[in-house]
Chains A and B, each alone.
Chain A
């Protein structure tokens, strides 16, 4: 068998094998059971004492969401402050200037919402200090926020009665210190061993073998790359993210980084099984997500390895596949693997330029973000899937004429209304944003000169705009980077998309969990719908595909599908 495909199978298998024990560990952290990292506890207790937070005070869903929004608001203000003043501080050896307001707004929102859409380029737009105390910091706590939100949801599902979902502050801090931090240190060390820089020296001027003078940007790269992968953040130190040889020096780091993207999202599903003691339910959810993930991955690997048909027509060979925008050390199969992994999980880091992917591969990347439920971001991935679970239970209930129930709690009109609203929000943001952008482009005379947005004509140009709003709403952060996106329209437009796409899909499902928690528990009987059966898995997958794919299909037909047929052999 082709070794490139073998590498892909090896990496995917490694993820699942590693995620299972991690899931068990995460469940213990959520429940407050003993773990081998309990030596952190005194540190955490001191932090809580200074902050005046009682970590054992359980709160209901409203209080928890208030806490989440308050602390996120502070993070946003912090990021705005530093980004607007970064030129004044230390750790800025390359004399990077301050960000202008619209770009600072976009960047602050982007890192607070775990999106990491980057309308600046790391080596020219952010000082070392900014990279660490704004980006690296937010990459921890925004991921911690997502994981904590999932923990609140788990608690709501586990409760037989009462309205207490746990303490957001405590869960957020523990998710960061007990789950993210140890893994980030481990991944950082692996990166250092393979040559990723960790230095506070500025760019180094070199005179090349051929005699050219070149400045080589570097910096404190390793710690940020580790957490950007593990926390499904995705924001790279350099503009070209993990395609940059400093961020991702060889195939070993590439393997470790891909595993890091998917590790926690997969582990969260297993954690649910351990937490609720409903392992079979977790396996069904895992199965649905895994089938969805593979059905995007396999075509993408196939198309990238087959190369660009237009280049084949020129009569040269493409033994490595489609290589535009890709690095030789990764090859096309692993670049496709990364492309689908990063878009399915709302990570958004890249090791190849998605703008240059073959048409249907680009479509699979967009679909990963549009469905946004095949593993998804840390914590929020399961939360997104939970919305679909509620809808699937409701629809199954209608079909068989029984009261829809989830784990012994009745699902009634209010919960279904919230779920429908959340599920429709995502396509609404993406489609209306893209429609607005396309309208502005089409109604501007000579848009190429005046707006300077698109790097490619025709169908692909439309895809660039479609991808950008999709990426913002899904809190992904990757891009068809040819898009000239550092303009007020894109900075503010995607900023709003990111905010809505972050907080509505968290607050809605947590509210549902809070409401369910308070309801009367009736033990499951032979009359209840079995949610840990294969049939329910099929219904769930159908709901995701029908809701998602049908809503987005017209847009995809205008972009990548048309492009695909235009270059068919």
Chain B
């Protein structure tokens, strides 16, 4: 028994060094070879870090393309989903309220054209993307506020659409941060 204990103890210590230190350090070394040194891909606008490429941030202002609701208000230091069940009455009235708010901010839009991701919260609470439909439906509002023609905005959205990989893997999507940075640069 004592022999077992001693053998196990030493084997554990060595494997802690192997899998807890050496393996991560090796991966770290690979990480340093990556273009952005695997620091999370920060995005800089006018010399200031305005966010990370893959981390969604809150866009509630009417002059920006809005993104999805978030259960944690896009807090990237403590992520989370709503964890509401599909039949929860409290949750369903929240969704109803989001639909109404959207219709108030986007007059002239048909209710049936609102894509469901714009009124449901994501799993991480920091989903960086929306679908192309969810961007196109906001063009009329943004065009009015920014005095930019709808055609120009449509072009912008289509330029920022990331297509499925190999034509079938995944979903067509738009990174909202990149889209809004491009929108700000549009004259």
Report which A residues bind B (CB closer than 8 A): 3-4, 6-7, 10, 47, 50-53, 66-67, 70-71, 74-75, 78, 121, 123-124, 132-134, 136-137, 139-141, 169, 173, 176-177, 181, 184-185, 188-189, 192-193, 195-201, 203-204, 206-210, 212, 214-218, 220, 222-223, 226-227, 238-240, 243-246, 249-252, 254-255, 307-311, 314-320, 322-331, 334, 350-353, 355-359, 455-460, 463, 480-482, 563, 566-567
B122 to A, closest residue via Cβ? A327
Flag if A329 contacts B14 (CB, 8 Å): no
Beyond contacts A198-B28, A226-B27, A310-B92: 8 other A-B pairs, Cβ-Cβ < 8 A, are: A53-B7, A210-B58, A217-B77, A245-B54, A316-B116, A316-B119, A352-B81, A563-B86
Flag if A460 contacts B85 (CB, 8 Å): yes
Flag if A67 contacts B8 (CB, 8 Å): yes
Q: A75-B12, A222-B27 are in contact. Are A324 and B120 (CB under 8 A)?
A: yes
Flag if B129 contacts A327 (CB, 8 Å): yes
What are the residues of chain B within 8 A of A322 when measuring CB–CB? 86, 116
What are the residues of chain B within 8 A of A212 when measuring CB–CB? 57-58, 74
What are the residues of chain A within 8 A of B59 when measuring CB–CB? 209-210
Flag if B58 contacts A307 (CB, 8 Å): no
Flag if A222 contacts B11 (CB, 8 Å): no
B42 to A, closest residue via Cβ? A204
Flag if B30 contacts A310 (CB, 8 Å): no
CB distance from B101 to the nearest CB of A (A): 13
Q: A223-B24, A246-B40, A314-B96 are in contact. Are A206 and B15 (CB under 8 A)?
A: no
CB distance from B173 to the nearest CB of A (A): 5
User: Which residues of B (1-30) have their CB < 8 Å from a CB of A?
Assistant: 1, 3-12, 14-16, 18-21, 23-24, 26-28, 30
Flag if A215 contacts B165 (CB, 8 Å): no
- The contact string, 1 if C-beta is below 8 Å from chain A, for chain B 63-90, is 0100010000011111111111111111
In the complex, identify which listed stretch (B143-151, B152-160, B176-184) lies at the interface while the others stay far away. B176-184
Q: A124-B78, A206-B49 are in contact. Are A249 and B54 (CB under 8 A)?
A: yes
Flag if B169 contacts A255 (CB, 8 Å): yes
18 contacts between A and B (CB under 8 A): A51-B11, A70-B8, A136-B20, A136-B24, A169-B7, A199-B37, A209-B59, A215-B77, A240-B123, A314-B95, A316-B112, A320-B115, A327-B129, A328-B130, A351-B123, A353-B123, A481-B80, A482-B85
Cα–Cα, bound, A277→B78 (Å): 51
What are the residues of chain A within 8 A of B49 when measuring CB–CB? 204, 206-207
User: Which residue of B8, B27, B99, B128 contacts A188 across the interface (Cβ within 8 Å)?
Assistant: B27
What are the residues of chain A within 8 A of B122 when measuring CB–CB? 243, 323, 325-328
What are the residues of chain A within 8 A of B53 when measuring CB–CB? 195
CB distance from B186 to the nearest CB of A (A): 14
Cα–Cα, bound, A209→B20 (Å): 38
Flag if A323 contacts B117 (CB, 8 Å): yes
What are the residues of chain A within 8 A of B58 when measuring CB–CB? 208, 210, 212
Q: A197-B40, A323-B117, A329-B173 are in contact. Are A245 and B126 (CB under 8 A)?
A: yes
CB distance from B7 to the nearest CB of A (A): 5
What are the residues of chain B within 8 A of A189 when measuring CB–CB? 27, 30
Cα–Cα, bound, A201→B127 (Å): 23
Flag if B85 contacts A169 (CB, 8 Å): no
User: Which residue of B60, B82, B116, B180 contacts A317 across the interface (Cβ within 8 Å)?
Assistant: B116
What are the residues of chain B within 8 A of A327 when measuring CB–CB? 122-124, 127, 129
User: Which residue of B81, B99, B129, B167 contacts A240 across the interface (Cβ within 8 Å)?
Assistant: B81
Flag if A314 contacts B15 (CB, 8 Å): no
Cα–Cα, bound, A252→B99 (Å): 32
Flag if A324 contacts B30 (CB, 8 Å): no
What are the residues of chain A within 8 A of B91 when measuring CB–CB? 324, 456
User: Which residue of A223, A240, A307 contacts B124 across the interface (Cβ within 8 Å)?
Assistant: A240
Flag if A240 contacts B79 (CB, 8 Å): yes
Q: A207-B48, A246-B54, A460-B85 are in contact. Are A136 and B64 (CB under 8 A)?
A: no
